[in-house]
Chain A
Amino acid sequence: MTNLAQARNEQIESYLTGLDGALRGVGREERDEILREIRTHILDSLPDNPEAGVETVLRALGAPERLAEQYQTEFLLTQASRSFSPWLLLSTAWRWAHTGIRGFAVFMVAMVGYTMALGFLVTVLLKPFLPNRIGLWVGHGNFVFGATSQGSGVHDVLGSLYIPVTMLLAFGTAVGTTHALRWLMRTRRRPAR
């Protein structure tokens, strides 16, 4: 093996090692498949660039970390779009948010939806301890769902129904957000580069 060929092989191996390390979170079998395909791509591309050499081919592929990030985003989006786990949906939306405006918008939907559901749940838990502060307060043109200060001329229209109604609202908001996120991830376009 000539020195030139050896140096070329070392560059390829170094790139693939970097890619392997950056593909954390992707299963071993899928990772090996990715590395094999990228190695084939590099070897196939070399004859097109005999003068430019391996640097040009590797540069065209992008940094290993960047390439790995695209794989992870694609895999996670596919996985999350089939999942009902709010945690997986939220963490995937967070990763997607780093890749473009659409991802960011989806992350905001996730944040607003799940925060609202959590907020409803917190008021349900507080209701037994603060019965005169938590409710659906109406009066004098005011409409407050949740906590309000006493003596502001408003009255609680739900009373004892507050807990079941708010539990339903929390559940409905969480389920609605989950379905919206699954739909947005299924119908996504490729994340912007």
Chain B
Amino acid sequence: MAGNNNGERGQHWEAQLRKGCLEMAILSSLWTGRLYGLEILRRLANKSHLEVAEGTVYPILARLKAEGLLQSEWVEAEAGHPRKYYWLTASGRRRAQEMAEAWNDFSASLAVLVGPVLKGK
């Protein structure tokens, strides 16, 4: 029973960690160019295994745009319907860089601490 509780807590913690990184992950997914919503979701899933609820990403995109970190435009597709593409503004690129650097420093410093735990596997 206690083992199950620990397992559930571990999963909950991991889910919270992934959610906390979502904003950085979305900004980073747009680093190399413009993407539309579904492409962002696919990139998050393929590159970082961030399987986020689809309905979570669109409100965040709307807010990041309102904050001036993203810009968007509807683009007509050759086949099918128009899609809303997003790309990083200058301040969005700065924010992505700051977040990536902070993340890098944080994970490097924690790696020292968790190293012995991993070796004890």
Contacts and interface: CB of A to CB of B under 8 A. Distances in A.
> Are A and B physically bound partners?
yes
Interface of A: 30, 34, 36-38, 40-41, 43-45, 60-62, 66-67, 70-71, 73-75, 77-78, 189-190, 192-193
Chain B interface residue count: which class?
A: 20 to 34
B70 to A, nearest CB: 13
Contact of A62 (B37, B55, B66, B84): B55
A30 B80 CA distance: 23
Interface in B11-56: 16, 19-20, 22-23, 36-38, 53-56
B58 interface: yes
Nearest to A73: B59
B16 A192 contact: yes
Interface in B80-97: 80-84
B111 interface: no
A80 B63 CA distance: 12
A190 B54 contact: no
Given A37-B84, A190-B19, A75 B66 contact: yes
Nearest to A62: B55
B82 A61 contact: no
Contacts of A30: 62
